[in-house]
Amino acid sequence: MPSVLSRRAATGVLAALTTLAIATPAAATGGSTVGSPGLGDPYFPLAGNGGYDVKHYSLDLDYTRADNHLGGSAVITARATQNLSRFDLDLRGFAISSLRVDGAPARFTRDGQELVITPKHTLRAGRSFTVRVDYAGEPTEVIDPDGSSEGWVTTGDGAFVVNEPQGSPGWFPANDNPRDKATYDIAITVPKGITAIGNGRLVSKRDHKGKTTWRWREDSPMATYLATATNGVFELRVSKVGKIPLYHAVDPAEVPKGAFDLLGAEAEVITFFSGLYGPYPFSSGGGVVDNAPEVGYALESQTKSQYDQTPDASTVVHEISHQWFGDSISLTSWQDIWLNEGFAAFSEWIYAEKHGGETAQQAFDASFARSATSSFWRRPPANVGGPEFMFGSAVYDRGAMTLQALRVKIGDRAFFGLLRDWYAKNRNGNVTTADFVKLAEKRGGQQLDAFFDTWLYQPVKPTTW
Ligand code: ARG
Ligand code: ZN
């Protein structure tokens, strides 16, 4: 059953297609065109927008938990990929006080998550432009098709900010699709005594009139859902692994539970995966342990994994491995979510194996022991059947099993070479399952269509492969 949310999204796309059809004659006569309101992702059709490519987001946020008021100024630098008489950003809620394109006021309307912008003059294909949106209000928490909460999730003393897959437009205007990666400057002004943590490196921290502005900069391309601005009372510690600064922020309630020690393990995990997969992708790292257990999951926000509570050691391994698989290498379609979660779950297995724990094959065997009649086998990892199942156990466990089965089939040398190639080739890029199959065949020196079909697409327990 599609959720209310995806049903509404589907209706929006139909409306959008009608608009596009009307716009076509203008395009045919050499006139301007309208950027599409979505990128047609099968799970989230309206996420992202057509007609431009964002290069950089500069976000200036001011947040007070007491009245749950977020004031934002977003400057988005983008390049038109077609002539644009009109284009969309994704934004949920807020009142917009000013909207400018290249410094000139632009007309805009709102339609659900679509912020529809008509610049004064058509933007020509290939040209760079800036959009500045000044907005304010109570941020919108987004409820996912699986019922989980994301976006700007308020806590007792601030907000836990996590957005996979569609929470970002609940706190900033975005081209909300992993296909459009960009660099970020994130400034967050909060009452003095509150710590605010964005992605990347801390550029400055300034006090003024009872408030503090924290400025963070992420210089590697990042998908919108990996942005963060988590804030609250935190103890912040800075350390290093090699030349890379690590920022660890822990809610005081979690300090006695050993959160700093668990985060401290990140340095060794980063070193381990750098050896196994290739150099750590980013110029900084770290993690945030908040006290928001009602969220119920952790997220691999780029350079700053977000933990809703003190994690166990394997969750830290999982989120750090996502920095390679999910963050540096991004999805093209949400349906391929196993390329993130299956790889992170396998990373937990291989980490344990190489540290004297259970072998990946033992983990595989334990998962494979599930009865053939278990519902687990009905949702194959590359086709779970809808966004409400995208974080289901099959995506993680059967995804990891696929990799372990592949390892056995092509041998360790080819398999680990394949993972290194996969990362080297796709660093900072976007991938599909078909890309992985192709590279696996090349590295494995064999036809693997049937193998991957069995493991990734068939809704039954594999018997032979
Ligand atoms: N990628 C996260 C992890 O496995 C899970 C995010 C779940 N998100 C959600 N809205 N339920 O580490
Ligand atoms: Zn994960």
Q: What is the pLDDT of residue 352?
A: 98
Cis check for the bond before 165: say yes or no (omega within 30 of 0): yes
Q: Which residues of 64-99 are buried (b: 16+ CB within 10 A; e: fewer)?
A: bbeeeebbbbbbbebebebbbbbbbbbbbbbebeeb
Q: How far is CA 197 from CA 132, 155, 158, 247, in A?
A: 23, 15, 11, 9
For 266-287, write each residue's pLDDT tens digit: 999 999 999 999 999 999 999 9
Contact 205, 215 (CB under 8 A): yes
* Predicted confidence (pLDDT) per residue in 392-404, tens digit: 999 999 999 999 9
Q: How far is the CA of 324 from the centre of ligand 2 (A)?
A: 12
Q: Residue 11 — very low, low, confident or very high, per pLDDT cuts 50/70/90?
A: very low
Of all atoms in ligand 1, which is nearest to the CA of residue 150?
10
> Could you give the percent of the chain with pLDDT greater than 70?
93
Q: Taking a C-beta distance cutoff of 8 angstroms, is the pair 55, 77 a contact?
A: yes
In contact, 149 and 110? CB cutoff 8 Å: no
Q: How confident is the model at residue 27 (pLDDT cuts 50, 70, 90)?
A: very low
Residues with CB under 6 A from ligand 1: 144, 146, 148, 150, 164, 297-300, 318-319, 341, 391
* Residue pair 106/130 in contact by the 8 Å Cβ criterion: no
- Contact in structure between 241 and 169 (CB atoms under 8 Å): no
Tell me the mean pLDDT in the region 7-23. 38
Domains, the chain, in order of start with CATH, read: 26-233 (2.60.40.1730), 252-329 (no CATH), 332-457 (1.10.390.10)
pLDDT tens for each residue of 104-127: 999 999 999 999 999 999 999 999
Ligand 1, atom 12: closest residue by C-alpha? 299
pLDDT category at 16 given cuts 50, 70, 90 is very low
Which residue out of 43, 319, 327, 391 has the highest number of ligand 1 atoms within 8 Å of its CB and is therefore the one to mutate?
Answer: 391
398 within 8 A of 380, measured Cβ to Cβ: yes
Q: Which atom of ligand 1 is nearest to the CA of 165?
A: 10
From the CA of 322, give the closest atom in ligand 1. 12
pLDDT beyond 70 at 426: yes
| Both tokens assigned to 288 | 């945030």
pLDDT tens per residue across span 191-239 = 999 999 999 999 999 999 999 999 999 999 999 999 999 999 999 999 9
**pTM of the shown model:** 0.92
Confidence of residue 5 (pLDDT cuts 50, 70, 90): very low
ipTM confidence: 0.98
Do the beta carbons of residue 198 and residue 224 sit within 8 Å? no
* pLDDT at residue 9 greater than cutoff 80: no
Residue of 83 and 17 predicted with greater confidence? 83
What φ, ψ does residue 285 adopt, rounded to 5°?
A: -155, -175
For the CA of 319, the closest atom of ligand 1 is 12
> What's the average model confidence in pLDDT over 405-431?
98
- C-alpha 327 – ligand 1 centre gap (Å): 13
Calpha distance 155→289 (Å, rounded): 12
Confidence class of residue 23 from pLDDT cuts 50, 70 and 90? very low
Task: Decide: residue 104, CB within 10 A, 0-12 exposed, 13-18 middle, 19+ buried.
Answer: exposed
**CA–CA dist 32, 431 (Å, integer):** 31
Cβ atoms 216, 199 nearer than 8 A: yes
Ligand 2 centre from 21 Cα, in Å? 39
Label residue 13 by pLDDT band (50, 70, 90).
very low
SS3 assignment, position 15: helix
Supply the pLDDT for residue 19. Answer: 39
Task: Output the CA torsion 73→137→200→266 (10° steps).
Answer: 180
Alpha carbon separation from 402 to 315, 339, 343, 397, 465 (Å, rounded): 20, 11, 9, 9, 10
Residue 8's pLDDT is 33
The protein residue with its alpha carbon nearest to ligand 1, atom 11, reads: 148
Ligand (nearest to CA of 162) = 1
Q: Which atom of ligand 1 is nearest to the CA of 300?
A: 12
3-state secondary structure 35-85: CCCCCCCCCCCCCCCCCEEEEEEEEEEEEECCCCEEEEEEEEEEEECCCEC
The encoded tokens of residue 201 equal 């490196």
Average pLDDT taken over every residue of the chain:
93
Angle at 204 between CA 325 and CA 89, to 5 degrees: 55
376-386: pLDDT as tens digits: 999 999 999 99
Q: Is the pLDDT of residue 88 over 50?
A: yes
Is residue 348 over pLDDT 80?
yes
Give the residue whose CA is nearest to atom 2 of ligand 1: 299
Residues 6+ apart with CB under 8 A from 340: 322, 325, 326, 331
Q: Are 165 and 172 in contact (CB under 8 A)?
A: no
Copy the structure tokens of residue 20.
Answer: 């596009």
Write down the residue that tokens 């006290």 correspond to: 291
Q: Provide the pLDDT for residue 32.
A: 52
In this prediction, residue 140 carries a pLDDT of: 87
The answer to whether 203 and 215 have CB atoms below 8 angstroms apart is yes
